[in-house]
Structures are given as C-alpha cells and as structure tokens.
Amino acid sequence: AQKVTQAQTEISVVEKEDVTLDCVYETRDTTYYLFWYKQPPSGELVFLIRRNSFDEQNEISGRYSWNFQKSTSSFNFTITASQVVDSAVYFCALSGPTGGFKTIFGAGTRLFVKA
C-alpha cells in the first residue's frame, strides 16, 4: 500500500525564521514520484515540485529547498527566511504504479508565518 504521512499538523513561525515541513512516505514501488503542493488561504492548489525516485539530488528554488532521502523514505521541504506570504497549507503527495499512478496526498501541514 502507498501512504504519505505529514506528522506536523500546524507550524507557527515568526517571519525570517527557517522552517522545515516533514514528509514520510511508504511504497513498495522502485519507481515512484513525489510532489509538493501549496494551498494558500485563497484555496487553490499550486504545484511546487516533482521528484522521481531515481533523482536524490536536493533541489533549491529561491527560498525553497527540498531534501529527498530514500534511505529514510522522506521528502522534506524547507523554507528559508520565511515570509507572511508563505502562510498556507502544504501537501506532500506520492504517485506510483502500485496505486495505478493515482496521486496519494498527505493530510497537509498548515504553516502560519507571523510578521
């Protein structure tokens, strides 16, 4: 079975702090894909990143960075120097052949960034 666990339900930080959102996944597939999406207060979901299981290189995009570690089945997301506009719910997701390549989402982590 496939599963995505985001153990942090809510995180609150003060602006300019760094924050890491955890994502742990379970899958028996050797080929799979991991995603992060952002859902700001306006409600729409926005794609942030996709990573396949054969690419363990960390990725950095501006203040955002992702750490993929197959050894611990984790795909963590770090925001550096957080800003109020980063306040949102962040979802980690997994897709692979076991699930017919349907995307399974974690429960989400709500991030509050205070000014």
- Mode of pairing for the β-strands spanning 74-79 and 64-69: antiparallel
- Mode of pairing for the β-strands spanning 33-39 and 109-114: unpaired
Residue 109 in contact with residue 89, Cβ under 8 Å? yes
Establish if 111 lies at the interface with other proteins (CB under 8 A).
Answer: no
Q: How far apart are CA 22 and CA 55, in angstroms?
A: 19
Residue from 21, 68, 77, 108 touching other proteins (CB under 8 A): that is: 108
Selected range binding other proteins among 20-28, 38-46, 57-65, 68-76, rule: CB under 8 A: 38-46
- Which residues within the stretch 4-23 sit at the binding site for other proteins (CB under 8 A)? 4, 6, 9
- Contact residues toward other proteins (CB under 8 A) are 4, 6, 9, 33, 35, 37, 43-47, 50, 52, 91, 95, 100-108
